[in-house]
Chains A and B, each alone.
Chain A
């Protein structure tokens, strides 16, 4: 079950009604029901991995308690390292073992030694990167004395397994989300209406922009050899839009679903393609992951309070790790490294001014946005392609093999109308222009807008189509 699936269309309303009508008695009832719902939601995917989810949540809960009860700093550190090794070990086993073994074999192969290793076929448990990070944040926060350990296991398990964010985030943080589970949630009409709007908007950009563009992009990349560089360039530009619409759409739906149940999730996107630098892009893209890496890896490495050379090293390392978090492949590693390197270069070019660039609608800012968009787009090539060789082929073709682009109007027209609507809304939100439709003061306008969006989704959305791109991570 995904958030755009037919099953979720029934699942969410049933959970919503039961939650507010029957399980509203107190926070324990609410948490117990949320936990049960989340387990059903997860089991819908693959019930076999439910034990893994509960194990990760259980160990982080248990070790959190031990860390807090320990007086010795050495013991606290030892406990933290143990729980990190345990849960990251599971993540490494499922996600990276095959990659590491293959890299090892490749290394020997380069030296002329052929090793024979049977290919590992390990099924990746869905959402493992997201819930592992959520659980680890709890232990690290306790270790850093930012949060007190809870004795309320029900609240804790409800927090880690919370179904709207379980599969693809936003990555929950104990400091911000966990306290919400310690008190009874009260129903709010205004918040619920806002949540419905977020879900609708998320579904619109996912189904009508991301998935319809995805049909074209997948068609092109499945037959790369048959298309000229201009078509590959167009497909890459559209992929840049697709991945935003896909992941932001998912995030809006997840955040909206959370709000419907009285839980506020972290914001994940803030119109990233209006960023004027790659540095700013990362303050707007996948915010919950960026802040996770910032707080738990970048800051402990010294952040920017170190020598310039060390700071450069830290930045690139954090982004390489971020790349590897997305997937066990050299393509992701290069994607992360490219972002890190560009950020280092930007810092050299702009200096401290990088933090104070105005957000006004000016020509220099438009040029900066254009450059940033294209840099990010080029990096996405490595993110999208299956191998470095394919990525290099795409880049080479884009700059050498010009020709008439392959365009299918039947595929393009509905996607481009939706894309224009999305872009207009983002533009208006970015610059504070008054373009209120879903949140117009007049109820009739809100109602008609919602109705039109639903009709557009039904008529032109790619229904029962692609999974969310970030599910694979």
Chain B
């Protein structure tokens, strides 16, 4: 055999062996992912995409996960509630998860803390951790393709690629990052503002532009929820002031425009009087602590009631 063909044959054999291993590893990870504890990061995403069935859902990033006392909301509204927010996962992730939920069932109320600045192109917006579910739901797949390009359809053929970056957490059985004190997805934060933490830096927002892909994903998700009869309410929870007064308002305006178009109420709670000059309610400039949550959740419940009673 010619040396070149011999090399190509060896590479082909390696590729075939890789496909075999990929098949086995992929199936093993699929099984293991199903058994991940809900308090772990990967388990939370798995639950959000495949299992959650509560009529009231709270979604967003860390500000949603740590600011809304789910049990208090559940008791007050008389409906089962669950927080499916994940730290550092923003509009596109949240939209994809909501679409996956809508593929399975129609929740009654969705409280969405999407972050009014999160449509800016420089803000993080990864959907990487949703790769394992690429083939499970069409709408989720289309969001990943929109975000990451058409080549994803090829890459996702490899099971191991689907689990890239997630596998280590699954193999550690979700121990890493798991918070047993999570209650129906809600995780209160302990601690107070200190030292330099009081200054919120966001200069990059000033010169940034709205990400058209993100806006499109957000708009389609809002439209779909409204078409299916879901009561969607947008929130932005308190911040410890100090935002850049010259900041670009484009993202905020774009979100508010979409909400106005589809009749979605927006409660901009960033500058509530109860939280102004009250550092004891904050963990850092963008996150309220356990004490702050105790003050904030009743305000949210009142706002939700006002919408539901209309």
Query: B11 at interface (Cβ–Cβ under 8 A)?
Result: yes
Contact of A410 among B7, B17, B25, B169 (CB under 8 A): B169
Asked whether A455 lies within 8 Å of B25 as measured between CB atoms, the reply is yes
Give the chain B neighbours of A225 by CB distance below 8 A. 196
Of the 9-residue stretches B77-85, B155-163, B261-269, which lies at the interface with chain A?
A: B155-163
Contact of B164 among A410, A413, A458 (CB under 8 A): A458
CB distance from B193 to the nearest CB of A (A): 12
Q: How far is the CA of A459 from the CA of B163 in the complex (A)?
A: 6
Give the chain B neighbours of A246 by CB distance below 8 A. none
Query: B206 at interface (Cβ–Cβ under 8 A)?
Result: no
Contact of A21 among B4, B167, B168 (CB under 8 A): B4
Asked whether B14 lies within 8 Å of A189 as measured between CB atoms, the reply is no
Asked whether B158 lies within 8 Å of A458 as measured between CB atoms, the reply is yes
Give the chain B neighbours of A413 by CB distance below 8 A. 168, 172, 176
With most chain B CB atoms within 10 A of its CB, the pick from A408, A409, A458 is A458
Asked whether B151 lies within 8 Å of A193 as measured between CB atoms, the reply is no
Asked whether A193 lies within 8 Å of B10 as measured between CB atoms, the reply is yes
Asked whether A409 lies within 8 Å of B172 as measured between CB atoms, the reply is yes
Q: How far is the CA of A464 from the CA of B131 in the complex (A)?
A: 13
Asked whether B25 lies within 8 Å of A6 as measured between CB atoms, the reply is no
Contact of B165 among A6, A188, A447, A460 (CB under 8 A): A460
CB distance from B225 to the nearest CB of A (A): 30
Q: How far is the CA of A330 from the CA of B205 in the complex (A)?
A: 28
Nearest B residue to A13 via CB reads B11
CB distance from B131 to the nearest CB of A (A): 10
CB distance from B203 to the nearest CB of A (A): 13
With most chain B CB atoms within 10 A of its CB, the pick from A187, A193, A451, A459 is A459
Instruction: Name the prevailing secondary structure of the B interface residues.
Output: helix
Asked whether A455 lies within 8 Å of B160 as measured between CB atoms, the reply is yes
Contact residues, A434-473 vs B (CB, 8 A): 447, 450-451, 454-455, 458-464
Query: A20 at interface (Cβ–Cβ under 8 A)?
Result: yes
Contact residues, A1-53 vs B (CB, 8 A): 6, 17, 20-21
CB distance from A30 to the nearest CB of B (A): 14
Asked whether A189 lies within 8 Å of B196 as measured between CB atoms, the reply is no
Query: A226 at interface (Cβ–Cβ under 8 A)?
Result: yes
Contact of B21 among A187, A192, A410, A451 (CB under 8 A): A451
Give the chain B neighbours of A460 by CB distance below 8 A. 164-165, 167-168
Interface range on chain B: under 10, 10 to 19, 20 to 34, or 35 or more? 20 to 34
Give the chain A neighbours of B21 by CB distance below 8 A. 451, 455
Asked whether A226 lies within 8 Å of B196 as measured between CB atoms, the reply is yes
Q: How far is the CA of A182 from the CA of B41 in the complex (A)?
A: 58
Give the chain A neighbours of B197 by CB distance below 8 A. 226
Query: A414 at interface (Cβ–Cβ under 8 A)?
Result: yes
Known: A196-B11, A409-B176. A462 touches B168 (CB 8 A): no
Asked whether A459 lies within 8 Å of B167 as measured between CB atoms, the reply is yes
CB distance from A6 to the nearest CB of B (A): 6
Nearest B residue to A21 via CB reads B4
Query: B18 at interface (Cβ–Cβ under 8 A)?
Result: yes
CB distance from A414 to the nearest CB of B (A): 5
Q: How far is the CA of A188 from the CA of B25 in the complex (A)?
A: 35
Query: B245 at interface (Cβ–Cβ under 8 A)?
Result: no
Asked whether A459 lies within 8 Å of B4 as measured between CB atoms, the reply is no
Asked whether A187 lies within 8 Å of B4 as measured between CB atoms, the reply is yes
Known: A187-B3, A189-B7, A451-B14. A461 touches B164 (CB 8 A): yes
CB distance from B183 to the nearest CB of A (A): 22
Q: How far is the CA of A409 from the CA of B169 in the complex (A)?
A: 9
Query: B6 at interface (Cβ–Cβ under 8 A)?
Result: yes
Contact residues, B1-60 vs A (CB, 8 A): 3-4, 6-8, 10-11, 13-14, 17-18, 21-22, 25, 41
Asked whether A462 lies within 8 Å of B165 as measured between CB atoms, the reply is yes
Q: How far is the CA of A459 from the CA of B25 in the complex (A)?
A: 10
Give the chain B neighbours of A461 by CB distance below 8 A. 164
Give the chain B neighbours of A196 by CB distance below 8 A. 11
Q: How far is the CA of A365 from the CA of B30 in the complex (A)?
A: 49
Known: A451-B18, A455-B25. A189 touches B164 (CB 8 A): no
Asked whether B168 lies within 8 Å of A414 as measured between CB atoms, the reply is yes
Contact of A188 among B3, B167, B168, B172 (CB under 8 A): B3
Give the chain B neighbours of A455 by CB distance below 8 A. 18, 21-22, 25, 160
CB distance from A420 to the nearest CB of B (A): 14
Asked whether B172 lies within 8 Å of A459 as measured between CB atoms, the reply is no
Known: A226-B196, A455-B21. A463 touches B3 (CB 8 A): no
Q: How far is the CA of A322 from the CA of B51 in the complex (A)?
A: 57
Q: How far is the CA of A447 from the CA of B164 in the complex (A)?
A: 22
Asked whether B168 lies within 8 Å of A447 as measured between CB atoms, the reply is no
CB distance from A456 to the nearest CB of B (A): 9
Give the chain A neighbours of B3 by CB distance below 8 A. 187-189, 192
Give the chain A neighbours of B8 by CB distance below 8 A. 17
CB distance from A226 to the nearest CB of B (A): 7
Give the chain A neighbours of B158 by CB distance below 8 A. 458
Q: How far is the CA of A363 from the CA of B172 in the complex (A)?
A: 37
Asked whether A410 lies within 8 Å of B161 as measured between CB atoms, the reply is no
Contact of B151 among A6, A17, A188, A409 (CB under 8 A): A6
Give the chain A neighbours of B22 by CB distance below 8 A. 455, 458
CB distance from B201 to the nearest CB of A (A): 9
Give the chain B neighbours of A192 by CB distance below 8 A. 3, 7
CB distance from A158 to the nearest CB of B (A): 21
Asked whether B160 lies within 8 Å of A410 as measured between CB atoms, the reply is no
Give the chain A neighbours of B148 by CB distance below 8 A. 464
Give the chain A neighbours of B10 by CB distance below 8 A. 193
Q: How far is the CA of A27 from the CA of B165 in the complex (A)?
A: 44
Q: How far is the CA of A175 from the CA of B8 in the complex (A)?
A: 33
Which residues in B have some Cβ–Cβ distance to A below 8 Å? Answer: 3-4, 6-8, 10-11, 13-14, 17-18, 21-22, 25, 41, 148, 151, 155, 158, 160-161, 163-165, 167-169, 172, 176-177, 196-197
**8 A–B contacts, CB within 8 A, in A order:** A189-B4, A189-B6, A189-B7, A447-B14, A450-B14, A454-B18, A458-B160, A460-B164
Which 7 A-B residue pairings sit nearest by Cβ, starting from the closest? A189-B3, A458-B160, A410-B176, A459-B167, A409-B176, A414-B168, A225-B196
Contacts A455-B25, A458-B164 known; 18 new A-B pairs at CB < 8 A:
A189-B3, A189-B6, A193-B7, A226-B197, A409-B176, A409-B177, A413-B172, A447-B13, A451-B14, A451-B18, A451-B21, A454-B18, A455-B18, A458-B158, A460-B164, A460-B168, A462-B165, A463-B161
